[in-house]
Structure 1
């Protein structure tokens, strides 16, 4: 929205407005998207909801000279659609136009910095500075494209992982955030283990869609590299994981938190794998690579001792 001083200066400078309705950017808003191609998706919605003044609107992405780089954005001059104009609350503003800017977050960063430096025209900066502007703008444009491609590649990778899980072809699926997310969603054994733990300690399972990166680190430093290895050990140690988790959580009063996530199956599988090492010094060496809120040698000793003690207790209970 333009403030009074800014509006007065614009009217004086342009010297072409006869009334406020002639000014198309008294009010405006900006839509910032994460990716460059989402700009067109937003544009379709804008075009379907408002009247677009094609003559005064500009797509700076297409207007930019091909041998130059610079600020790219889609600017609409719009007004209320007929349906909106007929609403009583819009009666007083039905004739007014407004501006809508749509740009990616990197385009926005460029525009804000350029504006802060005070160079709105391509010929405004000193010549040596112009060259640096073009170089930076080119880098941002390439970065925008790369982020978009990374997003697309991740989506394609998810489909590949999903197919591998559905076909039970897990030996080549490497552990990472995306593969573990898909594994949690599609492997029934994970939900079964988590549900059994939940029932025994009387807390609910929180069906979160995300996975903490800590889990990947724990799995990696527990000796896992593929989903097939994880599934094999989940099947082999299923009952021990459940018993270990119940003893551990009760001993930690973690049930006071009120919920667990499906990641719990991985957490206690890792503890089982550490316990199988069989001696505290080697467990401590492995634990030092875990993302834990501890750091002293004494804390590591206590944690290693607790892991061994808990594992011994579940073995004794099964005799």
Structure 2
């Protein structure tokens, strides 16, 4: 059994190696997140204060506290939603320079005590495989960093209840526990709803993106003069006019332009005078005006390009004012 004084001396000496190992893990998490296209909301690290570690040792006996106490250094990664957490955790398990294992089954803990473990963040023990020399500081093999990965809502929950309920030395009021349990359920429901929302938006964005890609291909095949294409502008126009667009729109536009070759000439001649004519939706506007006439004028989302839209009407022999 290590005495408190021995533990304090060893922990003091280990501070530099704990810090650089925590920094290494934090930077690795950052790099993995970037490679997976995951935006971290929070990425932080800390070395446990010596007095806090000694206090923990006095409350709970450890045979070898330097190796058994797994949170002497810790890193926390907070993602927006649970799919990001799952992807990040899967990639963390594959990192070649550490040994990693899940240290807690929070789902089981939640079943046993929902008032204490309402947030199901992932807890890992990340240990150095071999002795590391990082910037002149040796990190001994098996040095452990506690890594927590959770969603932003789980993090907010944890920040509220961690000290006041989970680590409280006295029993929390029943009413408070009831509110905590309810909020845990709401977090799970909200995460599910947000994920479903993101899936719907992703599918819609993908559909709009594919439409714009095809429209751009058609535009480029007709217009040899290259100008600046504003993707955001084009996507917003497609979104606002989606009720006038269906699966037959692009094939119909291709035939429409082939029958009216003058349209490509008009568009090309105006590219240097107005950025509107560099946008693929400028060609789509001709078909939509032809088919829906004044409905397009009313639905058109940008008043700044109304002069250009008036030229579309004029080119088709239509009056812009109804």
TM-score, scaled relative to structure 2: 0.62
Equivalent in the alignment of 1:97: 144
Equivalent in the alignment of 1:266: 281
Match of 1:249 among 268, 271, 293: 271
Equivalent in the alignment of 1:12: 55
Given the superposition, is the C-alpha separation of residues 53 and 203 from structure 1 closer, same or farther in structure 2, using an over 3 Å criterion? closer
Q: What SS is found at the alignment partner of 1:291?
A: coil
Cα deviations by residue, 1:9-65 (Å, 9 ceiling, x for unpaired): 3423532577755543232222334442554443343333322366xx113123211
Q: How well do the aligned residues superpose, as a CA RMSD in angstroms?
A: 4.1
Residues 21 and 97 in structure 1, CA contact (< 8 A), matched pair in contact too: yes
| Cα drift, residue 154 of structure 1 | 7.2
Equivalent in the alignment of 1:167: none
Equivalent in the alignment of 2:208: 180
Equivalent in the alignment of 1:192: 218
Q: Write out aligned runs for 1:148-297 (5 A).
A: 148-149=195-196, 176-185=204-213, 187=214, 190-197=216-223, 199-200=224-225, 202-203=226-227, 212-220=235-243, 224-237=244-257, 239=261, 242-252=264-274, 264-270=279-285, 273-274=288-289, 282=294, 286-292=296-302
| Cα drift, residue 75 of structure 1 | 0.5
Match of 1:307 among 306, 309, 312: 309
Match of 1:65 among 74, 98, 111: 111
Match of 1:130 among 157, 160, 177: 177
Match of 2:153 among 86, 106, 121: 106
Q: What SS is found at the alignment partner of 1:43?
A: helix
Given the superposition, is the C-alpha separation of residues 233 and 80 from structure 1 closer, same or farther in structure 2, using an over 3 Å criterion? same
Cα deviations by residue, 1:104-150 (Å, 9 ceiling, x for unpaired): 333233323445x8443598543223222222211211232344455
Residues 79 and 98 in structure 1, CA contact (< 8 A), matched pair in contact too: yes
Aligned residues: 262
Please give the alpha-carbon distance, in whole angstroms, between the structure 2 residues aligned to 1:12 and 1:146. 42
Matched, 1:140 2:187: yes
Residues 29 and 100 in structure 1, CA contact (< 8 A), matched pair in contact too: yes
Identify unmatched segments of 5+ residues in structure 1: 159-175, 295-302
Q: What SS is found at the alignment partner of 2:88?
A: helix
| Cα drift, residue 236 of structure 1 | 1.0
Identify unmatched segments of 5+ residues in structure 2: 1-44, 318-322
Given the superposition, is the C-alpha separation of residues 236 and 112 from structure 1 closer, same or farther in structure 2, using an over 3 Å criterion? farther
Please give the alpha-carbon distance, in whole angstroms, between the structure 2 residues aligned to 1:310 and 1:247. 13
Residues 218 and 270 in structure 1, CA contact (< 8 A), matched pair in contact too: no
Q: What SS is found at the alignment partner of 1:231?
A: helix
Residues 61 and 72 in structure 1, CA contact (< 8 A), matched pair in contact too: yes
Given the superposition, is the C-alpha separation of residues 235 and 111 from structure 1 closer, same or farther in structure 2, using an over 3 Å criterion? farther
